[in-house]
Amino acid sequence: MAEQSTPRTDHGPDEQHRRGAGVDDATVEALGKLSEALEVVEHARGLLYGFHRLTGTADLALDDAVRLFREAGHHEMAERVETEVLGRNVIRGRWTFQIVEDYDDNYYAAFKAVERDARQELADGKRHLYEAEMKEARRTHGRRHHEALPPEDESAGRSSGSA
């Protein structure tokens, strides 16, 4: 069955996702690429936290392995696991929490600050202008499920008299 058109008027993105005067295409594209790069960093950060969690879970499971080896009479193997692997640094001098902290403090924080400052300086702090414009260009105006905004947000974006 074909989708029905929505009966209401559809006015495009809200003010927060509309470029301001003087913001040109090249700037929107550059900010979009910076945002894209930040999204990759966010994903990498999530994977790093996953690595941290999985490595910690494995280290805690070693407690059970040591106990079970001892119960099975394999004291030398229990001792080897306990002294060679349990609590071992994953890289020289560091556990995973230290890797995560260093990443957050020395790379992630700087990346976030540069991205935020670029948006503030060049686009009045507005986020996702590139994506908002892409959505506007790709959606079918007036078609159900192609609305510019959720129904409860449509009037909020125009309360200042903007179209």
Residues spanned by the domain of 58: 25-134
Does a structural domain hold residue 5? no
Sign of the torsion formed by the C-alpha atoms of 36, 37, 39 and 43? positive
Does a structural domain hold residue 86? yes
End-to-end CA distance of the chain: 33
Does a structural domain hold residue 98? yes
Does a structural domain hold residue 51? yes
Domain count, the chain: 1
CA 129 to the chain's CA centroid: 17
What does the pLDDT look like over 58-103, one tens digit per residue? 999 999 999 999 999 999 999 999 999 999 999 999 999 999 999 9
pTM comes to 0.76
Question: Distance between CA 30 and CA 103 in Å, rounded?
Answer: 25
Write the CA distances from 85 to 51, 96, 97, integer angstroms: 17, 14, 17
Does a structural domain hold residue 144? no
Does a structural domain hold residue 121? yes
Does a structural domain hold residue 67? yes
